[in-house]
Amino acid sequence: MNKITIIMYHYVRDLKKSKFPKIKGLDLKNFQSQLNYLQKHYNIISPEKLINAIEKKLTIPDNSALLTFDDAYADHFFNVFPILKKLNLSGCFFPPVKCVLQEKVLDVNKIHFILASVNDVEALIKKIFKSLNKYRYEYNLESNDFYWEKCAKPNRYDNANIKFIKNILQRDIDEKLRKIITDELFSEFVCDDEKIFASELYMNYEQILQLHNNGMYIGGHGFDHYHLDSISFSEQKNEIDLTVNFLDDIGTNINNWIMCYPYGDYNASLLDLLKIKKCLLGFTTKIDIANLNKDNLLTLPRLDTNDLPKIENSKISSWTKKIV
């Protein structure tokens, strides 16, 4: 059936030794153990092998898996890269260009670390409500109850409180106001020097180039890490142009490249644009095993690291059973 299990990773670190042990990440020991599980039950293939198979209409190996790492965290250079290199494995790395070239902390990451630094989530929500009250007339805001009903929608990762904080600060009020509130909270609870924090959180250009030069694949993840379905076509074009320029500079082949959508979001205009820009594959956050014979190659699903066992000798998971 030409199926492939695409697995996404974000933070990968020794959580106990981290400055932020509450961050929602994969502990380094569990990453190593999960790789052992994957090698036991899957054929982990390189991105180049996948691209070549699609271009030449070849069949990939049975039980194929692909490793993907979003957001250019320094974790990926210092923790992930040495392990992959030792095991002679390759992975896809998707850096948002802005955080690499401009040493800016993405708003989504500011929110992650705010949540990892606050013990009383309800008190944090009250602070956000207070800010909404402060700016209500200036930004023509709806009532706090309105935003609670709209944003507090739990999903498989977050409860209602956490989802409210993420939604209100990521997309459901004016972008300028989102940034004002997020920056205030980040400065209060996490760090008041964004440049220093960014230099510790993300890989720099030289490190990403080193990944590329050592057989890792560097793909597209936008410039500003926007929800790409929520911006205009001209803004989408600018995001993709800046992305392709960065990939070309790094050395990625821009005639058949891979895009990973921030937050998994896309729309028809974006897909049309990617076709024009010679994008071959697009990765979403939809949870499933990708079927290269049936799925749209620009909207392939992925599994999260949490969907698969993190212990080498675990029983075969339900997702693994689907491909064996």
Query: Domains, the chain, ranges and CATH?
Result: 3-103+202-321 (3.20.20.370), 107-196 (no CATH)
**115 by DSSP, 3-state: which?**
helix
Mean pLDDT of the chain: 95
pLDDT of residue 217: 98
Residue 134: pLDDT above 70?
yes
Tell whether pTM > 0.85: yes
CB 202 within 8 A of CB 100: yes
As beta bridge partners, residue 64 has 4, 43
- Percent residues over pLDDT 70 in the chain: 99
Helices (H), the chain: 28-41, 47-55, 74-75, 81-86, 97-101, 107-117, 121-135, 144-151, 160-170, 175-189, 194-201, 205-213, 233-250, 268-276, 318-321
Instruction: For 229-249, write each residue's pLDDT tens digit.
Output: 989 999 999 999 999 999 999
Instruction: For 165-199, write each residue's pLDDT tens digit.
Output: 999 998 899 989 999 999 999 999 999 999 999 99
The predicted model gives 251-263 an average pLDDT of 97
Residue 324: pLDDT above 80?
no
Residue 219: pLDDT above 90?
yes
DSSP state of 317: P
Residue 152: pLDDT above 90?
yes
323: confidence class by pLDDT, cuts 50, 70, 90: confident
pLDDT of residue 213: 97
pLDDT of residue 123: 96
Instruction: For 279-314, write each residue's pLDDT tens digit.
Output: 999 999 999 999 999 999 999 999 999 999 999 999
Instruction: For 40-99, write each residue's pLDDT tens digit.
Output: 999 999 999 999 999 999 999 999 999 999 999 999 999 999 999 999 999 999 999 999
3: confidence class by pLDDT, cuts 50, 70, 90: very high
pLDDT of residue 204: 97
The predicted model gives 101-108 an average pLDDT of 92
pLDDT of residue 1: 66
Written as one string, the DSSP assignment of 34-81 is: HHHHHHHH-EE--HHHHHHHHHTTPPPPTTEEEEEEES-BHHIIIIIH
